[in-house]
Amino acid sequence: MASLRDLQASFAAALREDSAECAVTPRENLSIYRNNAAINFRTALGLSYPVLRRRVGDDYFRQLAVQYRERHPSRSGDLHWVGRDFAAFLAEHLQGTEYAWLADLARLEWSREQAAVAVTHTTVGAEVLSRFAPEQLEQLKFSLQPSLRLHASDFPIFTIWAANQVDNAPPVDQSLAGECGMVRARADGVEVRPLAPAVFSYLSALSAGAPLGEAVSVAGLDQHALVHALGFVFQEALVCGVAI
Amino acid sequence: MRALERARADYPLSLHGVGLGLGSAEGIDRDHLARVKRAISRFEPAQVSEHACWGQAGGEYFNDLLPLPYTDEAVELLARQVGEAQDALGTRLLIENVSAYVAFEHSHLHEWEFLASVAEISDCGLLLDVNNVYVSSKNLGIDAHRFIEGMPLDAIGEIHLAGHTRNGSVLIDDHGSAVCEDVWQLYRHAISRFGAVPTLIEWDTNLPALSTLVAESQRADRMLGELRGLAA
């Protein structure tokens, strides 16, 4: 008699391929499970990428979902994760086409998904800096909120994302300059926000673990800009800890 | 999450899982189990439930409640993995019967015998989904009353009711419409046997006006009230 493992393997094979042998009755009802799996996958993917779906339309999104699922089937019992590889898939699938920007938009939307489920740590205020001597400031390392994600694109993805929060938004001019910005969880939801390139470079360096002095240097900030940038991370409640 | 925390402040929660695949021969999803454990720590639900089903083979997850063959081997595997999940989560689980559209030719136990054995071996409770009993009974020619009478008396910790749709000759469990009259009558039968068990109306697609949902809930309350009146 076939083992449970064999029976489940044959059932799974029949969900992938209609002609595969599977000892169930009525056999034609396997199509219900086959459809459920495809629809659940596509629906979850659409919920993770609402702006991308709006931009490409339901029909093309459905095609993309089928092709993506063939290459990247679900690897988790939690549907939340089905979209994990979608941006990488799109980058390869759309390489060299006029839709290459969709991959960057997908990265932004996936960050939004991740930020929504990231843990939130208690933040510290700027007064924490008073614990350090002025000459130590350059060596300070910041731990930032785990939900923070930083994005830079050759395309105006933050403008595209913001413009497509409603149905039937007009297309955004793709010849606009590239943009950079951040995604992070707040108490009232997930924030998607473009940043000035210098602030983006500074945040990226801090986020990668660089000490404050190095982050300031990488971003090319002068004294005035430094005060502003330092104030920014505390005002935005991005700092969870500061240490030498 | 914040909405759930607010609800949790005023009401006990029943945490209902669909993703562990407790009957998967290749094992349960450990990452998901860890996430469920975190959810339990955070929300401290009054009850935690999952399904008597499997969900993955060859590393691919189908994210659906796939039916098991009702065999001794499947009893042994599901009971062992329910036990592992209960140990990992630090709580007793309620295991629910699923809606089925096919049956394995290898099954040699009735579904209620299968569930009773799993509950006995793993010391889990059972969640009786009356709509699932009805859907499976119509699709696979099972006697729904016999199903309910075959479930162990002392194991039922929660009851679910829901709507379904008809696709040709097949009933599909879709949680998208009102509980049908036949299911209400089966529910009456179930609570006369198992007592005033906490009951949930599952309606999570094609959401109706809140008043419609509340009316369904009140009907279940009335039937439970009638039962208590009879018992008094």
A104 and A224 fall within a common domain? yes
B131 or B231, higher pLDDT:
B131
A72 to chain B, closest Cα gap in Å: 9
Strand partners, B49: B16, B94
Range of the domain at A191: 100-244
Instruction: Tell me: do A156 and A217 sit in the same domain.
Output: yes
Q: Per the CB < 8 Å rule, is A44 touching B103?
A: no
Contact A149, A184 (CB under 8 A): yes
Q: Which residue would you say has higher pLDDT here, B227 or B163?
A: B163
pLDDT tens digit string along B64-98?
A: 999 999 999 999 999 999 999 999 999 999 999 99
Asked if the Cβ–Cβ distance from A11 to B73 is below 8 Å, we say no
pLDDT band at B39 (very low <50, low <70, confident <90, very high): very high
Domains of chain B: 2-231 (3.20.20.150)
Q: What percentage of residues in chain A have a pLDDT greater than 90?
A: 83
Q: Is there a single domain that holds both residue A71 and residue A128?
A: no
Same domain, A31 and A76: yes
A65 shares a domain with A44 = yes
Neighbours of B204 (CB within 10 A): 9
What is the arithmetic mean of pLDDT over A3-28?
96
Query: Which residues in B lie closer than 8 A to residue A4 (C-beta atoms)?
Result: 25, 68-69, 71, 73-74, 77
| d(C-alpha A74, C-alpha A48), whole Å | 14
Q: Is the pLDDT of residue A175 over 80?
A: no
Average pLDDT, chain B: 96
Give the pLDDT band of residue B231 (cuts 50, 70, 90).
low
- Which of A29, A75, A77 minimises the CB distance to B101? A29
Q: Is the pLDDT of residue B232 over 70?
A: no
- SS3 readout for A136-162: HHHHCEEEECCCCEEEEECCCHHHHHH
What ipTM score was computed for the predicted complex, to two decimals? 0.95
Q: How many domains does chain A have?
A: 2
Q: Are A79 and A116 contained in the same domain?
A: no
How far apart are the C-alpha atoms of A196 and B167, rounded to whole Å?
A: 55
Instruction: Give the residue from A179, A184, A181, A158 showing the smallest Cα distance to A239.
Output: A184
Q: Which of B73, B56, B164 is nearest to A81 (CA)?
A: B56
Mark which of A49, A83, A99 sits at the end of a domain. A99
- Last residue of some domain: A68, A99, A130? A99
Query: A81 and A39 share a domain?
Result: yes
Nearest residue of B to residue A27, measured between CA atoms: B102
Claim to verify: residue A58 and residue A19 sit in the same structural domain: yes
Same domain? A112 vs A230 = yes
Which among B26, B28, B63 is the nearest to A74, CB-wise? B63
Report the alpha-carbon distance of residue B100 to residue B97 in Å, rounded. Answer: 9
Does A168 lie in the same domain as A79?
A: no
Per-residue pLDDT at A166: 86
Same domain assignment for residues A94 and A126? no
Which of A99, A121, A151 terminates a domain? The answer is A99
Residue pLDDT, tens place only, A118-154: 888 999 999 999 999 989 988 999 999 999 999 999 9
Alpha helices in chain B (DSSP H): 2-10, 30-43, 72-89, 111-122, 130-140, 144-150, 181-194, 210-231
Residue B214 pLDDT class (50, 70, 90 cuts): very high
What is the distance in angstroms between the Cα of A226 and the nearest Cα belonging to chain B? 35
In this structure, the strands spanning A149-153 and A24-25 are: unpaired
Contacts of B103 in chain A (CB under 8 A): 24-25
Segment A83-109 mean pLDDT: 96
Task: Supply the pLDDT for residue B156.
Answer: 98
- Report which of residues A172 and A78 the model is more confident about: A78
The reply to whether A45 and A106 lie within a common domain is no
Task: Flag whether pLDDT at A214 surpasses 70.
Answer: yes
